């Protein structure tokens, strides 16, 4: 196996920048991903040697790690599949994701019994594997940027192995308020917080999530929080809080959304929509995205405001996510069912009220963005929600944004959106009506301001900001 040489900047995330598929003849095809971290890292420049430590997620990835990746800047960890599944599905995506997005139905879930303890032990093992790989690959005094809830124990474990490193942790999710966070078994709740406090800096997408993290550290660990200085002191060590609101990549989106593959999908959608108005939503089908209530709100709009019959189309793209979890499969089934009910109830031979797609197609998403009169972003809770930031940049129609006050994007975009309580479907239906009837000039002016706010901190600047903060702390 090729092990990467010591690097001065290291990234750690569950999902890495590359994945492999096994072809029928047994050969491996690599696919490079995009996303904020990839463009962020490239902004640092080639002169800095980097290593990205990530997990092998598929059979193809595992085969590639066994054969030796020919990319020295990526180190994929071949974690035992059972350990990985318990850590990823059981702890990261069920337990921690559910806590931070307030998803539990508390009379029945969660149940913290012996299978949970097995999952937790796997999560510890998985975080230890990352800490060990980072420790092995880091040059003296290197900077390490650890990403997200999959790796909340890694900063402390890594510090124990390598006290010389500068360590940052970044949470891409919301953070639960203390009363809800206390659902976790006491030792687990403490370990997650203490794990992140092993970092020199803990970064969040909004002030609200950073504040909730500080509240949990105070309430659960008894840590000392200085809210003006944005520091948390625990067991004699101080961790700084950072707020870095990731924005959309405006240049990339504007260029990408005018390529021929997007144009051809736009033509297909246009034909279906005709001269009607559109309400567009694009999500991964995650329990936090609130797609079903969005459909109920749209149905309520058609029911209570018949002037919209045959005058509007709801374009809803609900892409597959985490189908290993039964809750996600059931949720996808209810999205399909409610969309079908609406089409059965209101559709005519020439009008399909809901156009729903559940297969992933980025070019088609961009085409829908271009066609958006209204974008519906109504999550129960969301770390940021980049769709809210992307649609205003791409739309050809100067769209209005209906935005949940529980999305991180609300902090920056709330002022120019039609804001909703995501649980209130009647209010959401009214918000859709307000957005659909907003005067053209007001809509255009708001959309311009939304696009500007959305691109204030594109991925490369977002990444550099965190990197520089860590480097400056050390100098200062």
Q: Which residue ranges make up the site for ligand G6P (CB under 6 A)?
A: 14-15, 93, 148, 172-173, 322, 383
Structure tokens at 245: 């609101």
Token pair 């008894």 is at which residue?
222
Instruction: Compute the distance between CA of residue 242 and CA of residue 232 in angstroms, rounded to an integer.
Output: 11
Smallest gap from residue 148 Cβ to ligand G6P (A): 5
Question: Which CB, 91 or 313, lies closer to ligand G6P?
Answer: 91
Smallest gap from residue 396 Cβ to ligand G6P (A): 27
What is the enclosing helix (H) or strand (E) of 357? strand 354-357
Instruction: Compute the distance between CA of residue 94 and CA of residue 188 in angstroms, rounded to an integer.
Output: 14
Smallest gap from residue 322 Cβ to ligand G6P (A): 6
Smallest gap from residue 99 Cβ to ligand G6P (A): 14
Question: Which CB, 173 or 290, lies closer to ligand G6P?
Answer: 173
Residues 6+ apart with CB under 8 A from 173: 96, 97, 100, 101, 148, 149, 209, 383
Smallest gap from residue 382 Cβ to ligand G6P (A): 7
Asked if 326 contacts 310 with a C-beta cutoff of 8 angstroms, the reply is no
Question: Which CB, 209 or 234, lies closer to ligand G6P?
Answer: 209
CA angle 147, 83, 330 (to 5 degrees): 80
- What secondary structure letter does DSSP report for 125? H
Question: Which CB, 16 or 198, lies closer to ligand G6P?
Answer: 16
Asked if 347 contacts 255 with a C-beta cutoff of 8 angstroms, the reply is no
Question: Which CB, 94 or 278, lies closer to ligand G6P?
Answer: 94
Instruction: Compute the distance between CA of residue 167 and CA of residue 389 in angstroms, rounded to an integer.
Output: 29
**Whole-Å CA distances, 220 to 72, 110, 183, 203, 396:** 41, 19, 11, 19, 48
Smallest gap from residue 225 Cβ to ligand G6P (A): 24
Asked if 262 contacts 366 with a C-beta cutoff of 8 angstroms, the reply is yes
Measured in residues, the chain has a length of 476
Question: Which CB, 101 or 397, lies closer to ligand G6P?
Answer: 101
Instruction: Compute the distance between CA of residue 94 and CA of residue 100 in angstroms, rounded to an integer.
Output: 10
Smallest gap from residue 391 Cβ to ligand G6P (A): 17
Smallest gap from residue 57 Cβ to ligand G6P (A): 8
Question: Which CB, 282 or 313, lies closer to ligand G6P?
Answer: 282
What is the enclosing helix (H) or strand (E) of 86? none
Instruction: Compute the distance between CA of residue 268 and CA of residue 467 in angstroms, rounded to an integer.
Output: 43
Question: Which CB, 14 or 95, lies closer to ligand G6P?
Answer: 14
Q: Give the nearest residue (CB) to ligand G6P.
A: 172
What is the SS3 assignment for 184?
coil
Comparing CA positions, the residue from 316, 325, 424, 292 lying closest to residue 97 is 325
Question: Which CB, 193 or 225, lies closer to ligand G6P?
Answer: 193
Asked if 283 contacts 368 with a C-beta cutoff of 8 angstroms, the reply is no
User: Kind of pairing, strands 166-170 and 201-204?
Assistant: parallel
Instruction: Compute the distance between CA of residue 138 and CA of residue 164 in angstroms, rounded to an integer.
Output: 10
Smallest gap from residue 149 Cβ to ligand G6P (A): 7
Comparing CA positions, the residue from 312, 309, 313, 318 lying closest to residue 337 is 318
Question: Which CB, 93 or 404, lies closer to ligand G6P?
Answer: 93
Smallest gap from residue 111 Cβ to ligand G6P (A): 22
Smallest gap from residue 72 Cβ to ligand G6P (A): 24
Question: Which CB, 325 or 444, lies closer to ligand G6P?
Answer: 325
Structure tokens at 457: 């901190």
């Amino acid at each position: 196996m090729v092990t990467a040489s010591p690097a001065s900047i290291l990234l750690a995330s569950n999902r890495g920048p590359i994945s492999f598929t096994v072809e029928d003849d047994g050969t491996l095809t690599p696919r490079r991903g995009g996303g904020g971290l990839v463009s962020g890292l490239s902004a640092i420049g080639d002169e800095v040697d980097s290593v990205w430590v990530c997990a092998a997620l598929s059979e193809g990835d595992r085969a590639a790690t066994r054969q030796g990746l020919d990319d020295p800047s990526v180190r994929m960890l071949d974690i035992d599949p059972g350990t990985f599944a318990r850590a990823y599905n059981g702890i990261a995506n069920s337990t921690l994701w559910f806590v931070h997005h307030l998803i539990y139905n508390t009379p029945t879930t969660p149940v913290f019994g012996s299978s949970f303890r097995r999952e937790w032990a796997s999560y510890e093992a998985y975080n230890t594997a990352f800490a060990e790989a980072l420790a092995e690959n880091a040059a003296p005094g290197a900077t390490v940027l650890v990403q997200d809830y999959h790796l909340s124990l890694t900063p402390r474990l890594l510090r124990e192995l390598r006290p010389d490193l500068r360590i940052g942790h970044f949470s891409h999710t919301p953070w639960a308020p203390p009363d809800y966070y206390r659902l976790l078994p006491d030792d687990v709740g403490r370990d997650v917080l203490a794990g992140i406090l092993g970092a020199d800096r803990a970064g969040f997408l909004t002030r609200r999530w950073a504040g909730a993290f500080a509240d949990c550290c105070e309430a659960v660990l008894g840590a000392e929080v200085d809210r003006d200085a944005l520091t948390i002191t625990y067991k004699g060590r101080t961790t700084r809080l950072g707020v870095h609101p990731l924005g959309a990549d405006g240049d990339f989106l504007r260029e990408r959304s005018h390529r021929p593959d997007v144009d051809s999908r736009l033509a297909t959608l246009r034909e279906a929509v005709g001269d009607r108005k559109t309400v567009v939503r694009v999500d991964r089908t995650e329990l936090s995205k609130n797609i079903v209530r969005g459909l109920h709100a749209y149905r309520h709009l058609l029911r209570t405001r018949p002037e919209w019959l045959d005058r509007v189309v709801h374009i809803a793209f609900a892409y597959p996510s985490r189908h290993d979890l039964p809750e996600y499969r059931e949720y996808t089934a209810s999205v399909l069912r409610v969309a079908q009910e609406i089409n059965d109830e209101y559709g005519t031979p020439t009008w399909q009220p809901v156009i729903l797609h559940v297969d992933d197609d980025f070019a088609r998403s961009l085409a829908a963005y271009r066609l958006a009169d209204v974008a519906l972003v109504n999550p129960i809770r969301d770390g940021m929600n980049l769709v809210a930031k992307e649609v205003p940049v791409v739309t050809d129609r100067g769209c209005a944004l209906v935005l949940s006050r529980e999305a991180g994007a609300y902090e920056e975009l709330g002022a120019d959106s039609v804001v909703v309580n995501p649980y209130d479907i009647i209010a959401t239906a009214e918000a859709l009506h307000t957005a659909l009837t907003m005067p053209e000039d007001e809509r255009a002016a708001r959309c311009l301001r939304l696009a500007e706010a959305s691109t204030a901190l594109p991925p490369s600047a977002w990444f550099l900001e965190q990197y520089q903060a860590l480097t400056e702390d050390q100098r200062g």
